Structure 1
Amino acid sequence: MKVLVLGGGVIGVSTAYYLAKAGHEVQLVERQPGVALETSHANAGEISPGYSAPWAAPGIPLKALHWMLMEHSPLHVYPRLDWAMWRWLGAFLGNCTLPRYQRNKARMVRLAEYSRDCLRELRAETGIHYDERSLGTLQLFRTQQQLDDIHNDAAILQAQGVPFNILDRDGVIRHEPALAQVQHKYVGGLHLPDDETGDCFRFTQTLAGMAEQMGVIFHCNTTVQGLVASGQTLSGVQTSKGLMQAEAYVLALGSHSPLLLKPLGIHLPIYPVKGYSLTVPITQPEHAPESTVMDETHKVAITRLGNRIRLGGTAELNGFDLSLPAKRLATLQYVLSDLFPNGSDPSKASFWAGLRPMTPDGTPILGKTPYSGLFLNTGHGTLGWTMAAGSGRILAAMLSGQAADIALEGLGMERYG
């Protein structure tokens, strides 16, 4: 089957790879000069099935008010005349109940666990390298209240069969020795031993090269301008280089997906939630993180990627703005200096921002649309890197007429009516 994949981030490239592996004739369209140059470029590096959870959770509305009053706040909302943003926020608040949180987290963990297994299988088959580490994620709690509040998450992890360990200070230090020098700043943590880390940009670029060797054709510097429908069938894609046609189309354009679907009468509740990252070279390895530490107070992940430390965090609702405010940089610099003050050279840091395609319930949108031949692989939010391999493999199975390896209940657009 001839398949056109729209989008060259980690989701689109993973989809193209698995489609080619399944024997399809695949082409990919990307507006940038190469792949993984937008949201997949400099993310936090976490591959975190155990930490997969919706942002919409019980108590979040009150916590959000508290966060926005913090000096180094993890949340920023810019009021604007943007109906899509307010509609998304309304749906988000509607998911901040315990039953919906438990349902949504279970869906996310199901896909994330499967995707992690797919990534391990891909690594074994191809030998792909991307500064990978398999030492888990440490969720770091600065207050006793944070430590006491993890019981709901622990119950869901246990029900899903996800290994975890609740740690005191000594346990934290055993997993992250560099935190010994700041042990007065936290009370404990949650360790997720099956989580991994890796450079998403390096992975995506390398996988794209492998896909190209398998016959995938990449059309970079090519902008998708619109979807062309004939009745209830997608008949083509209008691009800056003309009309492109195939037998099936996979939309993997992240935050831009709803803009293309709206003229077809499809309204996806995906909104761009801006995040920032800071990358610094390691100068003293013994004072750097071993894997990923998630600062629960500031919602900042600190990850070791080869000879670099990558910090990623902040949730900012401000449309498609990609500016780099000094205040956001200051938050990442503060977390680095507060937890790992001696491991790196901040004077050589690089600062970046990207737009995460968030759904109000946290779960991505995979599968069919009302238009024959049009499929979705989008809305992964902060977990695109975590869920990429599994999502791509699921789409390849769908287009091949095969059953997916996991239950797909709750992963499609039909959950929004």
Structure 2
Amino acid sequence: MKVIVVGGGVIGVTTAYYLAEAGHEVVVYDRQKGPAQEASYANSGEIASGCASPLAAPGLPLKALKWLAMKDDSFSFRPKFDPKMWMWLARVLRNCTAERYQANKSLMVPLAEYSRDMLRVLREGTGIAYDELSHGTLQLFRTQEQLDGIAADVAVLDRLEVPYEILDAAGCVEVEPGLVRSRHSLSGGLRLPDDETGDCSLFTERLVELCAARGVVFKFGQKVFSIDAWAGKVQRVTVNGHEDADAFVLAAGSYSERFMRKLHQRLPLYPLKGYSLTVPIADVDAAPASSVIDVAGTVAVTRLGDRIRIGGTVEISGFDLTLHEQRRVPLERALSELFPDAGDLREGRFWCGLRSMTPDGPPVLGRTKLPNLYINAGHGMLGWTMACGSAKILADMISGREPEIDISGLGPERFWA
């Protein structure tokens, strides 16, 4: 079967890999000149299955009231006269109940765990290297109130039998020795020992090479203008010319919603801008050993080879890709406060990208109303975490195989009512 994948980020390329492994003829289109040039380029680097959680959570509405006044904090809201923005936010608020948070997190964690397992199988089978580490991740709490607030998350981890450790301040320093220099007092942490880290962009670039060796054709620098459907199914994509196929996968991140809208299928996907800062390590002993998530600022500080990546801020501003310098402040602050002198901030590379978000949290994964069009989008801040699992599931679906995990609640049909 010939399959066209629209999107050359980590989601699109992993989808192409598993489709090729299943024996399909695969063509990937992306408007950028190479792979992983948008949201996948400089994310926080975590494969954080145990941390997989929806943005929509109890307490979020109170935080949202503060966003308008925030100028240099980890959250920023830039309101616009954009009906899609306000409709999406209204859906987010409806998902901020304790019951919905538990239900949505319970969908996300198994997918993330499965994805991590698929990544390990891929790595062992191909030898792909991407500055990977398997040292776990640490959610860090500066106050006792923050530490006491993890009961709901821990309940989900217990029910799904996900390994974790609740650490006191000394335990946090034991797993992350660089924290001994922290300029903040620490109350404790939640460690997920099975989580991993790695350079998503490097992984995607090297996976493109593996895909090409398996016959996948990549057409970079070619913008898909439309996905054309008639007679009840998708027939072709329009680029400079036209190309037809038997099946089509939409993995275009934040831009997937636009394609779906043109096909008269509305999905509540909306872009949230994330920022990151990548700095060279200045003092190895002071640097993080793996990845530390500062819960107070929702910023992750991650070791990637000889670099440190600080990322994870959220800005609601539509498709605006302006690199606002004030958004650099919380990233620099997180590194300076938690790991003083670990990295050379003068050499930092500042970046932003758009992450495709659903209002409930889980991605949109599965067959659309058109029987030969599939979607793999809406992973939000967890695209790297969920990439391999989502891709394997979609390849199984297209190949007529039953996915290896229960995917109920992940499909686009949950938004059709």
2:212 aligned partner: 212
The within-5 A match list for 1:111-130 is 111-130=111-130
Query: Residue 155 of structure 1: CA displacement?
Result: 0.5
Q: Give yes or no for the alignment of 1:139 onto 2:136.
A: no
Correspondence for 1:22: 22
* 8 A Cα contact 2:181 2:340, kept in partner: no
Cα distance in 1 between the residues matched to 2:127 and 2:184: 41
Whether the 8 Å contact between 1:272 and 1:319 is mirrored in structure 2 is: yes
Q: How does 1:352-371 map to 2 (within 5 A)?
A: 352-371=351-370
CA distance in 2 between counterparts of 1:189 and 1:17 reads 36
* Alpha-carbon RMSD: 1.1
1:188 aligns with 2:188: yes
SS state at 1:29 partner: strand
Alignment of 1:22-41 (within 5 A): 22-41=22-41
Matched, 1:248 2:247: yes
Question: C-alpha separation between the residues in 2 aligned to 1:2 and 1:343?
Answer: 49
After superposition, give the CA deviation of every residue in 1:250-279 in whole Å (9 maximum; x if it has no partner).
000000001011121111111000000000
Deviations 1:195-230 (A, max 9, x none): 000000000000010000000000111001011111
- Give 1:344 shift: 1.4
What does 1:279-358 correspond to in 2, within 5 Å? Answer: 279-358=278-357
Distance in 1 (alpha carbons) for counterparts of 2:365 and 2:86 = 24
AA aligned opposite 2:2: K
The equivalent of 1:224 in structure 2 is 224
- Counterpart position of 1:263: 262
1:141 and 1:296 in contact (8 A); partners too: yes
- The structure-2 alpha-carbon separation of the partners of 1:68 and 1:162, relative to structure 1 and needing over 3 Å to count, comes to farther
Q: Report if aligned partners of 1:138, 1:294 keep a CA contact under 8 Å in 2.
A: yes
How far is 1:63 from its partner?
A: 2.6
The answer for the alignment partner of 2:401 in structure 1 is: 402
Q: Is the 8 A contact 1:357 1:379 kept in 2?
A: yes
SS in structure 2 of the partner of residue 185 of structure 1:
coil
Shift of 1:67: 5.7
Letter in 2 for 1:339: L
The answer on whether the counterparts of 2:367 and 2:374 sit within 8 Å (CA) in structure 1 is yes
Q: Which amino acid aligns with 1:324?
A: L
Deviations 1:12-41 (A, max 9, x none): 000000000000000000100110011100
Gaps of 5+ in 2: none
> How many residues in Structure 1 have an aligned counterpart in Structure 2?
416
One-letter amino acid of the structure 2 residue matched with residue 274 of structure 1: K
Q: Aligned to 1:224, what secondary structure does the other structure show?
A: coil
| Aligned residues of 1:67 and 1:74 also touching (Cα < 8 A) | no
State the Cα distance separating 1:62 from its structure 2 match: 1.0
CA distance in 2, matches of 1:143, 1:85: 33
Show the counterpart of 1:42: 42
Note the C-alpha offset of 1:370: 0.8
Amino acid at match of 2:120: R
Residue 88 (str. 1) matches residue 88 (str. 2): yes
Residues in 2 aligned to 1:290 and 1:296: alpha-carbon distance in whole angstroms: 18
Secondary structure, aligned partner of 1:310: strand
Question: Where in structure 1 are there 5+ consecutive unaligned residues?
Answer: none
TM-score by length of 1: 0.98
- Compute the displacement of 1:181 (Å): 1.6
C-alpha contact 1:68 1:74 (8 A) present in aligned 2: no
- Classify the secondary structure of the residue corresponding to 1:112: helix
2: CA distance between counterparts of 1:147 and 1:71?
Answer: 26
Aligned to 1:202: 202
Tell me the amino acid that sits aligned with residue 252 of structure 1: A
**1:165 aligned residue:** 165
Alignment CA distance shift 1:67-1:177 (3 Å): farther
Q: CA deviation at 1:343?
A: 1.1
Determine helix, strand or coil for the equivalent of 1:333.
Answer: helix
Q: Which residue of 2 aligns with 1:391?
A: 390
Query: Aligned equivalents of 1:71 and 1:207: distance in 2?
Result: 38
Q: Does 1:414 align with 2:396?
A: no
Partner of 1:63: 63
Decide whether the 8 Å contact of 1:169 with 1:183 is kept in 2: no
Secondary structure of 2:320's counterpart equals coil
Q: CA deviation at 1:284?
A: 1.0
Range with greater deviation from structure 2 (251-260 or 76-85): 76-85
AA aligned to 1:380 is H
One-letter amino acid matched to 2:100: R
Cα deviation, residue 61, structure 1:
0.8
Q: Tell me the amino acid that sits aligned with residue 251 of structure 1.
A: L
Distance in structure 1 (CA, Å) of the matches to 2:404 and 2:111: 10
TM-score, normalization: structure 2?
0.98
Report the residue type matching 1:221 in the other structure: G
Amino acid at match of 1:75: F
Match of 1:373 in 2: 372
Amino acid corresponding to residue 217 of structure 1 in structure 2: V
Distance 1:159 1:72 in 2: 37
Query: Structure 2 vs 1, CA of residues 96 and 382 (structure 1 numbering), >3 Å: closer, same or farther?
Result: same
Asked if structure 1 preserves the Cα contact closer than 8 Å seen for 2:4 and 2:247, the reply is: yes
More deviation, 183-192/330-339: 183-192
* Matched residue SS, 1:16: helix
Supply the distance in 2 between the matched residues of 1:93 and 1:226 (Cα, whole angstroms): 32
